Structure 1
Amino acid sequence: MTTFSRTAALAAALAVTAGLAATIPSSSADGTAAGGAATRTVLDVRGLDQGAPPAVAWSERRSGRTVIHGTDGGRTPAPNRLAELAPMGSGHVIQTFGRGGTRTRWIDADGSPGRREWRTGHGLGVSARGSAVGFSGRAGRVWTIDEEGDRVLSFRPVPITGKGRAVAVVGESCKEDGTSNGCTVYVNGPRRAFYTSSHGIVDRVPHLRIVTTGRKRWLGGITSLSDFGSCSALLRSWQVRWRTCDNQLSDISPDNRHVLGTPAYADGFGPTALDVLATADGETVHSFTSARNGRSATYFDEVWEDADHVLVVTYQDGKWAVVRLGVDGSMEYAVAPRRGSMDTWAPFQLQTR
């Protein structure tokens, strides 16, 4: 699956500076305080311990060159204007941005491109196990690439104008045969969310105006938008489980127990607070918060690394880093900090899941 807001546009805004990391109050084993309230950790990422490298694919731009680090230790050269990446077969599906808009293609492990590229909307939809990646182009056309790497399947287009934005793929094999029931791709248009399936079914997504995340039977998205914020809902098997006007819903954990909640109102350079919510009822399990004095980090590219940890690209005090956040409130570096400007493209990019 994919998050709704990626690092596609980093505009100059309020600078963030440093502070001391603090957890309020002390956490118990299940991430809640003794009184049952959700625990909080100030998202100050200075001086953290160095942990293991990311257990998902990630890209790094250094000295004018971009390389994708695979989970197997491989290094794949990639274009500098990399906007999205998802492992697929022996290589990666990537999206790049430029004057001509967003382009999607598959590249092999050595960086060589596949046979085709597409002009698409920004966004990749990825199945739960990563076996299929979907994307959408002009006039709502939709495609998937599967584990064969460069095998591409076309779907009936969704009824939108302009370019669609793929968000999620449900089903691990989009080719219908004796061993597969096919897949469904969720796509956002300018005003509505739709789905198209390998069965040839195209329709509106129920209850949601915009889909922001999806994994197996779970689907989350925005139900209403205004100048003052947004409201969202989480669905299971297309039935509303709960609603919130406190968060927009981002990545769902691999065990389906938690979903990330970003701020309901997006403004400025980037978000400074992140909630871990229970998929069962929407209760907050743990919150990573901004410091009242502003001395905390801004984050981007939030993605689950495993069932207990989230990776985020952070910016604080003139440095970019990849930080590992635990559901229990722990924090450590997955990629050490590097100096950089908030006015330039982030040097790190995490894979879409």
Structure 2
Amino acid sequence: MNDAKNPTPDPTDPDNSAWEEAMSRDFDARVRDLHEAPLDFDSVKGKARTIRRNRRAAVAGGVLGVAAVITPIAVVVGGNADTNSDKPDFANPSPTAAETSDPTITTPADVAPDYVVQGEWHQADGDEIELPRKDYSAAVLWDGQLVATYFGGEVFSVADVIDEDGEVVDSFDTTAPVVVNDSGTTIAWVGTDGQVMTRWADDQVSLGEVDLDASGEGIAYSAAAVTGGPSCYEAEDGCMVYVDSGDGQPQVFDSHGVNDNPVPDAVDFGDASDTGLVTYRDEINDTGSCGGLIDLGRTDATPVWEGCEIEAGPIAPDGQHVIGLPAYYDGLGLSEITVRDARTGAETGRFAPEGGFVGSWAWSTDGRVILDAYDGANWHLFALSTDGALEEIAEQVKGPDFDSPFTMVQH
């Protein structure tokens, strides 16, 4: 409460030592979290974005402490905050989509994918639903509902289950964003008590437990993917949850408990599909990462393809394509993102924003990669087809390079 006796500190006052001390404590605590809990790139990126969202108001008032943290990183990606562009000055070098290098907003509302922008859920049918919060950092579509995750404090997150009218019908704690199976019928997460949870329309069940207090691991456990279902009670439904761990020893859980890791050399999972495909990394070092894609349906269980040139990411709902990420990246986002044929690893589409970067990405139900990208002044939301065609599917939003207004909705 602001009164004459206890005035509210002005965050824009450079002499406000109390405010500077509070910001310093907050930053130091979060740095300790990162040291004490080794995370993969997605986890660090998600935590960093949450910190950035929570500091939005302070940045608007001129936060010197945040600028000191962000500026050295921004130099790496080459963003120019003074640039003012009505259209993205982005290049799309894919020869199959050269004509789309200057994308326009042409996607019809009846086929547009779901996405969230500044706390508003834009649904595939064209409806725009106001959400109870504006700081959701990740979301999935589950049984016609949006399951959106936000950072709930110093360590864990909270997932809200939101119906089609924007009402929160349930909430639960989780170590990381929730994952959903290909058909959208089953979700999975690692609870803050270490339980590996699954849930479908009629019930929920734990498939096992991890030790969140294990030395050297901290909160690094997270659900990477869930396959099968919808029910995770019966073995015949084939429900499996792929769990990543900070110690480089991922695990797989089913209705009988822990299974052997189907990719023994993997240090973490990228994704898994109902068709038996699994993307993974088997090496992470100072120069990048190596990994590939394996088909569990093969009798010899050898990789379909692997290497150190790209990182195999999320698998398309139809199992035909995979998002390809750079094997090494730094800064606030990616310099490029590609689409790969799941069976060969061959590139079929590419987007490389000139003078900017890609911030987040996800597959949509219509089989396109949805991504947000920054051009130096504005954030854009694009849909990248598997053949490289690019469309801008939302109005651009002006803002800083460290705080995208868009939240991807994973399918």
Which TM-score tier does this pair reach, normalised by the shorter chain? 0.7 to 0.9
Structure with more of its chain in helix, by fraction:
2
Per-residue Cα deviation, 1:18-43 (whole angstroms, up to 9, x for no partner): 7755555743xxxxxxxxxxxx8699
Structure with more of its chain in strand, by fraction:
1
Provide the rounded CA distance (Å) in 2 between the counterparts of 1:153 and 1:327.
36
**Residue 319 of structure 2 is aligned to residue 261 of structure 1:** no
Question: Which residues in structure 2 correspond to 1:160-239 (within 5 Å)?
Answer: 161=214, 162-163=218-219, 164-177=221-234, 181-191=237-247, 192-206=249-263, 207-216=265-274, 217-237=276-296, 239=302
Higher deviation after alignment, 151-160 or 318-327? 151-160
Question: What corresponds to 2:206 in structure 1?
Answer: 154
Residues 50 and 336, structure 1, Cα contact 8 Å, conserved in 2: no
RMSD across aligned positions (CA): 2.9
User: CA 1:86–1:49 in 2, change beyond 3 Å: closer, same or farther?
Assistant: closer
Higher deviation after alignment, 300-309 or 221-230? 300-309
Provide the rounded CA distance (Å) in 2 between the counterparts of 1:174 and 1:222.
29
Provide the rounded CA distance (Å) in 2 between the counterparts of 1:331 and 1:158.
41
Higher deviation after alignment, 212-221 or 155-164? 155-164
Per-residue Cα deviation, 1:40-87 (whole angstroms, up to 9, x for no partner): 86996x6634323573321111xxxx1222324442513222122112
**Residue 347 of structure 2 is aligned to residue 284 of structure 1:** yes
Higher deviation after alignment, 131-140 or 103-112? 103-112
Residues 182 and 199, structure 1, Cα contact 8 Å, conserved in 2: no
- 1:176 Cα deviation from its structure 2 partner: 3.1
Higher normalized contact order (CA 8 Å, seq sep 6+, divided by chain length): 1
User: CA 1:177–1:196 in 2, change beyond 3 Å: closer, same or farther?
Assistant: closer
Residues 155 and 198, structure 1, Cα contact 8 Å, conserved in 2: yes
- 1:341 Cα deviation from its structure 2 partner: 1.1
Residues 222 and 232, structure 1, Cα contact 8 Å, conserved in 2: yes
- 1:275 Cα deviation from its structure 2 partner: 1.8
Question: What corresponds to 2:400 in structure 1?
Answer: 341
Please, which of 370, 374, 378 is the counterpart of residue 319 of structure 1? 378
* AA matched with 1:70: Q
Question: Which residues in structure 2 correspond to 1:1-353 (within 5 Å)?
Answer: 4=42, 8-10=47-49, 11-12=70-71, 13-14=74-75, 15-16=78-79, 24=93, 26-27=95-96, 48-53=104-109, 55-61=112-118, 66-74=119-127, 75-100=129-154, 101-118=156-173, 120-138=174-192, 140-148=194-202, 151-158=203-210, 161=214, 162-163=218-219, 164-177=221-234, 181-191=237-247, 192-206=249-263, 207-216=265-274, 217-237=276-296, 239-291=302-354, 295=355, 297-306=356-365, 309-343=368-402, 345-353=403-411
TM-score normalised per structure 1: 0.81
- 1:4 Cα deviation from its structure 2 partner: 4.3
Residues 359 and 404, structure 2, Cα contact 8 Å, conserved in 1: no
Residues 123 and 167, structure 1, Cα contact 8 Å, conserved in 2: no
Q: Give the 3-state SS of the residue equivalent to 1:78 in structure 2.
A: coil
- 1:188 Cα deviation from its structure 2 partner: 0.7
* AA matched with 1:253: A
* AA matched with 1:341: P
Provide the rounded CA distance (Å) in 2 between the counterparts of 1:107 and 1:328.
33
User: CA 1:257–1:85 in 2, change beyond 3 Å: closer, same or farther?
Assistant: same
Provide the rounded CA distance (Å) in 2 between the counterparts of 1:22 and 1:267.
20
Q: Which runs of 5+ in 1 are unaligned?
A: 28-39
Residues 41 and 288, structure 1, Cα contact 8 Å, conserved in 2: no
TM-score normalised per structure 2: 0.71
Corresponding pairs, count: 325
